[in-house]
Amino acid sequence: IGKSPDNIRLYYDEILPNLKKAVFKHLQLSIEDFQICFGSNASEFFSRVVDTVKPESILIAENEFISSQRYATIRRLEGAEIHTVSLYKNEQIKRFPIPPNTDLVIFSHVDSSTQVCINRDEMEMILDTIKPECTVVIDIVQSFFNVPVDWSTILQDRPNVFLIGSMIKHSRCGEGNAFIVYHKTNKLEPKSGWTAYLSGLQSNITSTTDKLLYDERYKWNGGTPCNIRNTYIAWKTLELAPSISSQHSYVMNLHSYFKQESKLKCVDELRRTESDYCSNTMCFWCDESVKELIYNLEKSGITGIDYKSVCDKAANRYIIRIGMGIHNLKSDIDLLIFRLREAGFISASND
């Protein structure tokens, strides 16, 4: 599926509408109330929101992913105030003050480094403390196709909230498949690209002298579609996939078996003990040998388990992330535990 005129029409007339239905099904959102725009990557949507809001005061979660940190830094260099809040801890998230005059809040549903997941009550608490005129961006790149969430009930009366996500992580649909979701009553007029007003192409109009024009369904779009093939694959993958709830339940059983046999405790063990509302990726503290450990694991013949090392600068320690999915079997976990024992990551004292 290339970029011939026929396939561009296929992209807009068939692929995107069906991908929208599939994404909304997994986010538990209604097409009647919410809108979605697709793009090349999550960063472009962060940039577009920041350029549109032009915030003078930003509240951003500590250790937020580098993409949103970068755009906050750009605004700081332009004179905006930047405030931080620590969200991604092992213990329950408590109510925290929002600095006065804050006009943009950015945080993740699932933290990129530790995979700590904000639960439903905590999410409601955070959003309830933010005034309706303040724009909120929730990064769901690590959350989408990972943790089951009924976003419709959370966002229904909050038109100031945007979800920015991607299909490159847990849904494994490849690059070029990011999205921004918002309530149809949101009134922001984004500084978006030429594909935000496709209907104007017929008359060679993209704006008036004093206002950008939009097609509502493409309002936050950028430029030329990035990867039509991967967008098609994403549509078919998400359309046929089991529900996130059923996938999550299966992976939680794998996690329980792994922790029972390994005796290892996750970075967010306390939260996982209290609830299974957590990421499909487990994180464990490690030392600088983590890179060699991952190298050896990747060579060991274990299929379908994802590994990544993260340096937690605040704790001056490393983290190893181990991700599982519905493609994994109990035998994969047995082999993983064997290799971790072989490498000394699981010691005799854990048994």
pLDDT digits (tens, 9 = 90+) for 242-272: 999 999 999 999 999 999 999 999 999 999 9
The CA distances from residue 182 to 186, 251, 267, 332, in Å, are 7, 29, 32, 39
DSSP β-ladder status, 306-312 and 317-323: antiparallel
The vertex-13 CA angle with 37 and 170, nearest 5°, equals 45
Q: Decide if pLDDT at 349 tops 60.
A: no
Q: Looking at the predicted structure, is the pLDDT value of residue 3 above 60?
A: no
Residue 167 corresponds to which tokens in the numbers above?
Answer: 């299909």
The pLDDT value given to residue 271: 92
Burial 55-70 (b: 16+ CB within 10 A, else e): bebbbbbebbbebbbe
First to last CA, the chain: 53
Q: Where are the beta strands (DSSP E) in the chain?
A: 34-39, 57-61, 81-85, 104-108, 135-139, 161-166, 178-183, 281-286, 306-312, 317-323
Its pTM stands at 0.93
Q: How far apart are CA 66 and CA 126, in angstroms?
A: 22
Distance CA 35, CA 16 (A): 12
Judged against a pLDDT cut of 90, whether residue 313 lies above it is answered with no
Q: At what angle do helices 228-240 and 16-27 cross, to 10 degrees?
A: 40
How many CA atoms, within 13 angstroms, populate the side-chain half-sphere of residue 346? 19
Question: pLDDT digits over 40-56, tens only?
Answer: 999 999 999 999 999 99
**Each residue's pLDDT tens digit, 145-170:** 999 999 999 999 999 999 999 999 99
**Residue 310 predicted with pLDDT over 90:** no
Query: Is residue 161 within 8 Å of 127, Cβ to Cβ?
Result: yes
By C-alpha distance, which of 109, 176, 175, 118 is closest to 142? 109
Interatomic CA distance for residues 320 and 291, integer angstroms: 9
Q: Do the Cβ atoms of 307 and 299 come closer than 8 Å?
A: no
Residue 83: phi, psi to the nearest 5? -115, 150
| DSSP letter (8 states) at residue 92 | P
Contacts of 328 (CB under 8 A, 6+ apart): 251, 254, 304, 305
Cα 47 versus chain centre, distance: 16
- Asked if the model's pLDDT at residue 136 lies above 80, the reply is yes
DSSP classification of residue 110: B
The CA distance from 149 to 23, in Å, is 12
pLDDT grade, residue 135 (50/70/90)? very high
Q: How far apart are CA 102 and CA 115, in angstroms?
A: 27
Percentage of the chain with pLDDT > 90?
A: 70
